[in-house]
Amino acid sequence: MSGVEIRSSEETMILDSVDKFLERDVRPVARELEASDTYPQAIVDRMIELGLFGATISTEYGGLGLSATTYASIIERISAVWMSVSGIFNSHLIMAAAVQRFGTTRQKKYYLPKFASGELRGGIGLTEPDCGTDLKGIRTQAVGEDDHYVVNGVKTWITNSAEGGILAVLVKTDPRAEPAHRGMSLLLIEKGPGFNVVRKLDKLGYKGIDTAELLFEDCKVSRENLVGEEEGRGLQQILSGLELGRINIAARGVGIARACLEESITYAQVRKSFGKPICEHQAIQLKLADMATRVEAARLLTESAARAYDSGGRCDMEAGMAKLHASEAAISNSVDAMRIHGAYGYSREFNIERYYRDAPLLAIGEGTNELQRIIISKQLVARNKV
């Protein structure tokens, strides 16, 4: 019971602070910043003050040391107001999780306090122009020379790469290794010579947050920045971090699905047709019922995945289920919300069109939903051998 009691007291205080932050610093400016695709620096500064960049980093290194369960609750709240804000520290914390779980003692002592304080912010560099879900196909190479590596390659769709200062980059240290994952390593690369931000990418939704294409051109990286003690462990290390990332995506889905539901309930009570509020029409009632059920199911799956992550065991199936269902719930609810709002849902006067543009990203990010289904299926068989 102690874990429940700690969560109920500490979580209440933390979530209250997050709610106040959202109402005071985010909601009033979200629509304007999203429309102009402006990086929300003032919001980021406030997030630093709140310690959100250290949300899941151990208190030993200056972080808040929050459980994944509490973290998911924070992400749901933020995403219900403006999803882009949650992405600013999601990839940052995936990077931090890789260092905290697999980094050397020196890396933990040097980097984690800087990550937790927000002094050094960043994310992960995985995707390439010809490689997304299939990470074994990456081409970026790191060639060892004396006390450093020389990195060459292109990464794209990288969050926090333009505004951040460091990335955990997946590279090939042995291109000839078989199977391919044994030749892949994770390097912490700080901005400097050879680390080039080529262009900021224009997106349908998920505005405000920086997403860019990078070119590593003879970029020298100290061997001390190899995550862990040996090469060839990079894919394993980053996939472990992506479990937290998928819980984050699931929580975002819950947030968007909930926002769609709440705004639809409100609108359906004030909008009238045929002489009565549309919430009294059975067609609308059916939609609201389905939307509410999706939200509740998505939240329960997300909480289940977060608890599995907190237990320290493998949770790729649980995280995959949560990510799959919650992201699809967000997409479905955004469509139903637009139908309920009618022409107003299609207008920038309401938030519905933003939810409608943001939600599809969740079915793609941190591994496509098609991949999640494969992961779930394989784990079902592995856990139920006959």
* Residues carrying an active site annotation: 366
- Report d(CA 107, CA 258) in Å as an integer: 39
The angle, 0 to 180 degrees and rounded to 10, between the axes of the packed helices 68-102 and 105-117 is 140
Which position has the token pair 């907190």?
310
- Report d(CA 358, CA 381) in Å as an integer: 34
Cβ proximity of 191 and 166 under 8 Å? yes
Tokens of 21: 């932050």
Q: Which residues contact 128 (CB under 8 A, 6 or more apart)?
A: 137, 138, 139, 140, 153, 154, 155, 156
- 231: helix, strand or coil: coil
HSE-CB of 101 using CA atoms within 13 angstroms: 22
Closest CA relative to residue 138, chosen from 236, 235, 243, 245: 235
Sign of CA dihedral 22, 157, 101, 383: positive
Q: What is the DSSP string of 346-375?
A: GSTTSSHHHHHHHHHHHTTTTS-HHHHHHH
- Report d(CA 87, CA 107) in Å as an integer: 24
Closest CA relative to residue 200, chosen from 187, 209, 191: 209
- Report d(CA 335, CA 260) in Å as an integer: 9
Question: Residue 132: what are its φ and ψ, rounded to 5°?
Answer: -125, -90
- Report d(CA 12, CA 31) in Å as an integer: 28
CB atoms inside a 10 Å sphere around CB 269? 12
Sign of CA dihedral 230, 109, 241, 43: negative
Which position has the token pair 């933990």?
108
Q: For the chain, where are the alpha helices, taking DSSP H only?
A: 2-21, 27-36, 41-50, 68-102, 105-117, 234-270, 282-310, 316-341, 352-362, 369-383
